[in-house]
Structure 1
């Protein structure tokens, strides 16, 4: 049984047009917002975005990395949407009232997002296995992580004690 392919799955679109349009619009929006080449220079910004988009799609590796990052982004957006829906169902309150005003929550979410983006970049570029082996499968890695955890625990304990003494 043959799998049917739609027009949106055609290789011309998936390997050239979609990545080109994505990079073109992102670069054009950044150039327009920053006014890097001056105010009202839409044609120059469009031409520069066009050239950058063409250079981008002419090389396979960056196109594949961005494609993988887009996959991560779509899954992350769906997970966040479901999490926010569940939060709304359970609490019945707006996020602005109690969730977003808490600085601890903001820092936690920020740190989780930075870690997620780093993990996504490592996965999208295909170098995650080498880094994980370097960090966790060496003869010295268990001693390093034990000592690092010990230093972090001491630093947190000192921060709590010094904060409470003020």
Structure 2
């Protein structure tokens, strides 16, 4: 039986990653005007070369292919949350999220992306073993907890001083 073209191995493993990387590189170069203004041909050539290098390198291509479902699910969850937040807050000026929420989303996205890359690249077991299963790791975590408590207390005292002097 014939395999539909859209779910064939060639399309999923080569064509889509190439198109994604080419488009991203081209768009970033066009937006930043890194190579100058009106240089679409050079931006396209660089996007083409980076896309071909990605497709030719199996390890990098596999990371991109395995990362895409995670990013699609995360983008969907983020879109639904932003829609619900927009319905609740109901601002009309287009800035649905306040500055605090923007930083929270950037932090969650960065942490999720780093964890996904660590897991998909196969380094999670090494990373987990280093942090939790190595002899003496419990002592390191206890020291980090004590340092975090001290830093938190210092921040609370300094913020309290600033508020008391400003009022």
Range into which the TM-score falls when normalised by the shorter chain: 0.7 to 0.9
What residue is the counterpart of 1:119 in the other structure? Answer: 115
User: Could you tell me the TM-score, scaled by structure 2's length?
Assistant: 0.83
For residues 140 and 100 of structure 1, do their structure 2 counterparts lie closer, same or farther at Cα, with a shift above 3 Å needed?
same
User: Could you tell me the TM-score, scaled by structure 1's length?
Assistant: 0.83
What residue is the counterpart of 1:93 in the other structure? Answer: 90
Deviation of the 1:6 alpha carbon: 2.5
What residue is the counterpart of 1:162 in the other structure? Answer: 158
1:109 pairs with 2:105: yes
1:43 pairs with 2:41: yes
Q: What's the Cα RMSD here?
A: 2.6
Deviation of the 1:53 alpha carbon: 1.3
What residue is the counterpart of 1:128 in the other structure? Answer: 124
What residue is the counterpart of 1:12 in the other structure? Answer: 10
Count of paired positions: 162
Deviation of the 1:20 alpha carbon: 1.0
For residues 119 and 96 of structure 1, do their structure 2 counterparts lie closer, same or farther at Cα, with a shift above 3 Å needed?
farther
Query: The residue matched to 2:50 in structure 1 has which SS?
Result: helix
Matches within 5 A, 1:46-61: 46-61=44-59
Deviation of the 1:58 alpha carbon: 0.8
Deviation of the 1:132 alpha carbon: 0.8
Query: The residue matched to 2:135 in structure 1 has which SS?
Result: coil
Which segment is superposed worse, 118-127 or 35-44?
Answer: 35-44
Structure 2: stretches of 5+ with no match in the other structure: 163-167
Which segment is superposed worse, 131-140 or 40-49?
Answer: 40-49
For residues 47 and 59 of structure 1, do their structure 2 counterparts lie closer, same or farther at Cα, with a shift above 3 Å needed?
same
Structure 1: stretches of 5+ with no match in the other structure: none
| Deviation readout 1:104-133 (Å, 9 max, x if unpaired) | x44433332221121111122121111011
Query: The residue matched to 2:117 in structure 1 has which SS?
Result: helix
